[in-house]
């Protein structure tokens, strides 16, 4: 199933119709700190956040893996925090992850759609696309194209894009998750309401500390 792109961050215009771009509401920088800190805590727990490795190192790690294998790492571009590296049918490639005002989304373009769907944390973003199997595609070509220079050596041919699909994360060998975390993932994958399970409160809190399937 292919998830369809949707427009975000476009609230209905209010007030004077001659002002198509109303001033956005004030944003508390503390919200940025909370959002980013929470996302990094989730990533440190995940086991597939590879930190400050380079695009070349990510490529080497993914080169022999099956299509759809991915990892998350720090972006080498100073204007971005994170980059998604994934093995495609054309080899490993990378896509930067955008962040603004409490929301994360993939750095891609699609005609008539300023940006892809946004999420409150990176785990929710990747879980969404892992669940759907494919990242939303451009209507014209069926490919995802980056609007900035890619962070890898391989370049697609002119006029073509790199179709992406996310299947399974690549665990970092020295950050392999604990047995408790693996059990938590198994429970999360088999219930939609872990808070209702007949478990002691500390165990329910442990499940809620990482409410994801990947």
Could you say which DSSP state residue 53 is in?
-
Instruction: DSSP letter for 168, please.
Output: E
Sequence-ordered list of residues with C-beta below 8 angstroms from that of 15, at least 6 positions apart, any chain: 22
C-beta neighbour count of 169 within 10 angstroms: 19
CA atoms of 202 and 194, how far apart (whole Å): 12
**Strand order through the sheet with 69-74:** 103-106, 91-100, 82-88, 69-74, 168-169
pLDDT score recorded for residue 23: 67
Mean pLDDT by 10 residues, the chain (214 residues): 35 43 70 91 95 95 96 94 94 93 80 70 93 51 36 43 82 90 92 84 91 92
Report the C-alpha gap between 43 and 58 in whole angstroms. 16
- Domains of the chain, first to last: 29-176 (3.30.505.10), 178-214 (1.10.750)
d(CA 14, CA 23): 10
Measured distance CA(196)–CA(171) in Å, rounded: 30
Structure confidence at residue 140 (pLDDT): 29
Regarding pTM above 0.75, the answer is no
Question: What is residue 134's predicted lDDT score, i.e. its pLDDT?
Answer: 58
64-114 pLDDT, tens digit per residue, is: 999 999 999 999 998 999 999 999 988 999 999 999 989 999 986 555 455
- Give the angle subtended at the CA of 167 by the CAs of 204 and 1, to the nearest 5°: 100
């Amino acid at each position: 199933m292919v998830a369809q792109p949707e427009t975000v961050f476009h609230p209905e215009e209010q007030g004077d119709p001659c002002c198509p771009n109303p001033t956005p509401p004030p944003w508390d920088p503390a919200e940025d700190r909370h959002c980013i800190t929470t996302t990094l805590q989730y990533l440190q727990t995940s086991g597939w956040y590879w930190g400050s490795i380079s695009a070349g190192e990510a490529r080497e790690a993914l080169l022999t893996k099956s299509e759809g294998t991915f990892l998350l790492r720090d972006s080498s571009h100073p204007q971005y925090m994170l980059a998604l590296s994934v093995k495609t049918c054309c080899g490993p490639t990378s896509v930067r992850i955008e962040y603004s005002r409490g929301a994360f989304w993939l750095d891609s373009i699609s005609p008539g759609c300023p940006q892809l769907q946004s999420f409150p944390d990176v785990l929710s973003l990747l879980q969404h696309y892992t669940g759907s199997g494919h990242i939303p595609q451009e209507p014209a070509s069926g490919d995802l194209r980056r609007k900035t220079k890619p962070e890898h050596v391989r370049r697609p041919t002119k006029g073509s894009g790199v179709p992406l699909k996310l299947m399974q994360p690549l665990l970092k060998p020295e950050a392999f998750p604990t047995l408790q975390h693996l059990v938590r993932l198994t429970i999360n994958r088999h219930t939609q309401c872990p808070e209702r399970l007949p478990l002691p409160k500390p165990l329910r809190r442990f499940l809620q500390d990482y409410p994801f399937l990947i």
